[in-house]
Amino acid sequence: MSSGTTTLAWFKSTYSGTQGDSCVEVAFAEQAVQVRDSKDASRPAFAVSRESWGEFVRFVSER
């Protein structure tokens, strides 16, 4: 995606453990939500639309 993903405000879920393992980080960009592996932030992030991210969050919160 964009080369500016390093300047985004990345965060983990408040449900993430303190060990830092098996987590993803997300950052809200202007037109998309960026997602990356917290264990290897040097790997490329991928982007999903804000609408798709909202659908995903609603789906998992119902579980």
Residue 28 resides in a domain: yes
Distance CA 24, CA 40 (A): 10
Residue 2 resides in a domain: no
pLDDT at residue 2 in the model: 45
* Mean pLDDT, range 45-62, rounded to an integer: 94
Residue ranges making up the domain that contains 45:
7-14+21-61
* Top-confidence residue, 20 or 61: 61
Dihedral angle computed from the Cα positions of residues 59, 17, 39 and 37, in that order, rounded to the nearest 10 degrees: 10
Give the H/E segment covering residue 56. Answer: helix 50-61
pLDDT score of 53 more than 90: yes
Domains contained in the chain, number = 1
pTM to 2 decimal places? 0.73
pLDDT score of 23 more than 60: yes
* Mean pLDDT, range 3-32, rounded to an integer: 78
Rg (CA), the chain: 12
Q: In the chain, pLDDT over 90 holds for what percent of residues?
A: 44
Residue 42 resides in a domain: yes
Residue 1 resides in a domain: no
